[in-house]
Amino acid sequence: MARQPLVDTMNRDVAAAGGAPARSPVASLVVSLRPGQWVKNLIVFAGLLFGKRLFDPKAVAIACAAFALFCALSGVIYLLNDVADREADRRHPLKSKRPIASGQLSPGLALATAVVLGVTAVALSFSLRPAFGVVALAYVALLTGYSASFKHIVIIDVLTLAIGFVLRAVAGAVAIDVAISHWLLVCTVLLALFLAMSKRRHELTLLADGATEHRRILGEYSPYLLDQMIGVVTASTLIAYIFYTISPETVQNFGTEYLALTIPFPLYGIFRYLYLVHKKEGGGSPAEMLLTDRPLLVCVALWVAAVVILVYGASDLAGIFGRRP
């Protein structure tokens, strides 16, 4: 109940602004592809980073192509999802301004674009590498299933989103033909669950009594339940990452025992995210939070820099510490 005035205020602001800003059909299509959300596809580069191919020009080019294709495929999923959810989105204080929900982009044009873009992207995925094409097709099938039915099944909804992140990571590794650690896949699915549950919590607290009118699955959750689930996933994510950095397999693969020095970065990043969710009413868009919250962005950048230094400069670091890996 405490959140309802916030929702009412946001609804009045939308009405006062005359709804969504006027856009051309092309601009509406671009907005509906949600380029701001493509940052999620950066997980495709995990194979490049942890496969020690970061300075291989050919591998970098292939990884960039894989990233572009997943941006196209995720755009297809967003189009399908917005068409399926257009009626519910019209009752949401923010989503009502999306092109399809606001009536600026016709569902027919959105579906036609999704079909053409999806078929083209899948075909190009198979031409890049057949195994990559299989993973890309599995991603489209899974997320299409999410838009059609999985998002209405409690717990399965967030698990589906998490598996989508895992498929992105697997696709990036398959594209450049490198192995990806099982530990890293575990960390990916747990972190994705953390983000998905935080998003559900944000929706539930933002919309309050009107939550089920927008997304009926929210009626199966409560802030307390989600907080319990988030707590479990948070601890599991951190423990999995810690074990990954100190496992003998990781030490052998990278030739360094010092990857554990990166542990403070995920610790701070997750705690910072929880702070934004609970104290700043964030969590509705993980990609937006990453791009707009400077401490979080700096944390991720420092983590990447630390991993690069440790993975690609292990011998130099060992020399500084007076021993060789």
Residue 117: the pLDDT is: 94
Q: Is residue 73 pLDDT above 90, yes or no?
A: yes
The per-residue pLDDT for range 187-213, each reduced to its tens digit, is: 999 999 999 999 888 888 876 666 566
Residue 171: the pLDDT is: 96
The per-residue pLDDT for range 270-286, each reduced to its tens digit, is: 999 999 988 877 766 78
pTM of the model: 0.83
Beta strands in the chain (DSSP E): none
Q: How far apart are the first and last CA of the chain?
A: 58
For 171, the token pair is 């696709």
Per-residue pLDDT averaged across 181-186, rounded? Answer: 88
How far CA 51 is from CA of 142, 242, 288, in Å, comes to: 26, 19, 28
Residue 22: the pLDDT is: 72
DSSP 21: P
Chain centroid to Cα 306, Å, comes to 22
Q: Which residue has the tokens 């078929």?
A: 119
DSSP 242: H
In whole angstroms, give the CA distance from residue 130 to residue 110. 28
Selection from 98, 313, 278, 291 nearest residue 198 by Cα: 278
Contacts of 210 (CB under 8 A, 6+ apart): 4, 7, 91
30: number of Cβ within 10 Å: 14
In whole angstroms, give the CA distance from residue 277 to residue 225. 15
Selection from 150, 159, 154, 170 nearest residue 81 by Cα: 150
In whole angstroms, give the CA distance from residue 67 to residue 189. 19
Residue 18: the pLDDT is: 43
Residue 204: the pLDDT is: 83
Q: Which residue has the tokens 């301004």?
A: 97
In whole angstroms, give the CA distance from residue 160 to residue 164. 6
For the ranges 5-9, 65-69, 241-245, the lowest mean pLDDT is seen at 5-9
Angle, CA of 133, 136 and 140, to the nearest 5°: 135
- Domains of the chain (ranges; CATH) run 22-176 (1.10.357.140)
The one-letter code for the residue type at 3 is R
The one-letter code for the residue type at 185 is L
Per-residue pLDDT averaged across 94-107, rounded? Answer: 85
